Amino acid sequence: MQSGISVSQELQDAFTTFNANTSSFCLPVTITGESLTPLSPIPFNGTASSPDSFFSSLPAISSVLQPKTPIYLLLRRPTSITTTLIALTYIPSNAPVRPKMLFASTRSTLTRELGSEKFASTVFATEEEEIVTAEAWRERESENSPARREELMGDKERELEAVRRAEAEARNDIGIGGTFGAGSGSGMRVSMPVDEAATAALKGLQDGGLVQLTIDIPTEKIILADNQSGVEAGAVATHISSTSPRYSFYHYPGSDVVVFVYTCPSGSSIKERMLHASSRRNAIAVAEGEGLKIEKKIEAGGPDEITADRLQEEVNPPQNVGAARGFARPRRPGR
C-alpha cells in the first residue's frame, strides 16, 4: 500500500454491519495512527428504500464534517432499481498539507481493502456544499462534469491526481512563483526529527558545497543523503538522485547565495512524494536554524533540469527581467 495505511479490523466489522443494515445511510471513516477506522454511522432521514431519501439525508452529513479535517464517507444510495454504495473522499481546500496528502494517497486503499467491486463510484470533494446539497449531486451526474470524468478514471489515476492536487497546495505553501522572505507561506509546516549529521553538514556548508537531505520513510526522519565540497554549478545534477526526492542546499561558488533545490522524480512512491512535499518548509527551517540564508529556490522533477545556466540565472538574473522569481520550476533541457 502506497501510504502505509491499512483498513483496521474494526472498520472491516463496521463495514460488514453497514452493508447488512439498510437503514444506515453513511459510514464515516477517518485515519487513526496507521489504520483506517470507522466513526458512528448516520441513519437515513425517512424511508431507507426510497430514492428521495438519499437527498433528504444529505444535510445530516454536516454533523461529521469539519472545515479543515479530511474524512472518508461511505454512502448508501437507493435507486428505483437497486441500492449502490459510493466512496466519497472529502479533503477541504484549507486543510493542512500533510493530512491532505495522507488522505489523498490512501483513498484507493480504502476501497481496495473493503472490496472495490462493492462501490458503484468514487467521489472527490473539497467543499461541504459539494456533499450536502442535492444540486451538487445532480451536477456531478452530468456526463460532462469534471467530477463525472474523475469517476471514470482508474484507481491509480484518481490516486495520483489527488496527490498532484495536494502537491500543488504544498508548492503554494512555500511561495512558488513569488518572493521568499521571512514568514512566507501560510500553510502547515510538518515537523520531523532531524539527524545530527544533517544539521552538522548544513552548519558547515561552504562556498561550492552541496548538502543533500532526504526523509527516511520508515522512521519519518530527515537525514543526510550526501555532502560534497568544491562542486561546480554544471556538476550539481550529477550528485542528485534521479530516483528519490532530495532537498539540496547549494552554496553557489563565488557568492553568498545558498540555493535550495527540491527534486521529486516521477518514479518516486506516493508516500515519498507525500512526505517530501509536505516537509519542504521544515527542511528550509532546519537549514535556517543552522545559520543559512535561503533566498533562492528551485523545484524540479529530476536532476537533469538543474543545469549550470539555470543556477546562474537564479543567482544572477538578467537585468531586464526584474527580481528573482522565488521558487520556480526550471525549464526542461532543450526548451
pLDDT digits (tens, 9 = 90+) for 13-64: 999 999 999 999 999 999 998 899 999 999 998 777 777 899 999 999 999 9
Cα Rg, the chain, nearest whole Å: 23
What is the pLDDT, as a whole number, of residue 157?
Answer: 58
Contact 238, 303 (CB under 8 A): yes
pLDDT reading at 151 higher than 70:
no
* 255 phi, psi to nearest 5 deg: -145, 175
Domains along the sequence of the chain with CATH: 6-169 (3.40.20.10), 180-328 (3.40.20.10)
State the residue for C-alpha cell 442535492: 134
Contact 71, 28 (CB under 8 A): yes
Task: Round to whole Å and give the CA distance between 9 and 36.
Answer: 9
Average pLDDT over residues 211-215: 96
pLDDT reading at 132 higher than 60:
yes
CA dihedral (191, 164, 123, 190) in degrees, to 10, reads 0
Q: Specify the pTM.
A: 0.53
* 132 phi, psi to nearest 5 deg: -95, 0
Task: Round to whole Å and give the CA distance between 330 and 298.
Answer: 7
What is the pLDDT, as a whole number, of residue 255?
Answer: 93
Most confident residue range from 161-170, 177-186, 326-335? 161-170
Residue type (1 letter), 324 = A
| pLDDT tens-digit series, residues 65-124 | 998 899 999 999 988 778 899 999 999 888 887 888 889 888 889 999 999 999 999 998
Contact 84, 75 (CB under 8 A): no
Average pLDDT over residues 274-284: 86
What is the pLDDT, as a whole number, of residue 211?
Answer: 97
What is the pLDDT, as a whole number, of residue 263?
Answer: 93
Tell me if residue 158 falls in helix, strand or coil.
helix
Nearest to 107 by CA among 135, 75, 70, 137: 70
pLDDT reading at 223 higher than 90:
yes
179 pLDDT tier (thresholds 50, 70, 90): very low
CA dihedral (126, 131, 136, 139) in degrees, to 10, reads 80
What are the Cα distances from residue 153, in Å, to 94, 122, 146, 156, 173? 25, 10, 11, 8, 28
Helix or strand run (H / E) with residue 248 = strand 246-251
Residue type (1 letter), 218 = P
pLDDT reading at 332 higher than 80:
no
156 versus 246: the higher-pLDDT residue is: 246
| Exposure letters 137-170 (e unless 16+ CB within 10 A, then b) | beebeeeeeebeebbeeeeeebbbebbebbbebb
Task: Round to whole Å and give the CA distance between 314 and 305.
Answer: 13
Centre a 10 Å sphere on the Cβ of residue 196 and count the other Cβ atoms it contains: 9
Tell me if residue 222 falls in helix, strand or coil.
strand
According to the 3-state scheme, what is the secondary structure of 273-334? HHHHHHCHHHHHHHHHHCCCCEEEEEEECCHHHCCHHHHHHHHCCCHHHCCCCCEECCCCCC
3 pLDDT tier (thresholds 50, 70, 90): low
205 versus 330: the higher-pLDDT residue is: 205
| pLDDT tens-digit series, residues 236-277 | 999 999 889 999 999 999 999 999 999 988 778 777 887 888
User: Facing residues of 249 across strands?
Assistant: 211, 260
320 pLDDT tier (thresholds 50, 70, 90): low
Tell me if residue 137 falls in helix, strand or coil.
helix
Average pLDDT over residues 289-299: 91
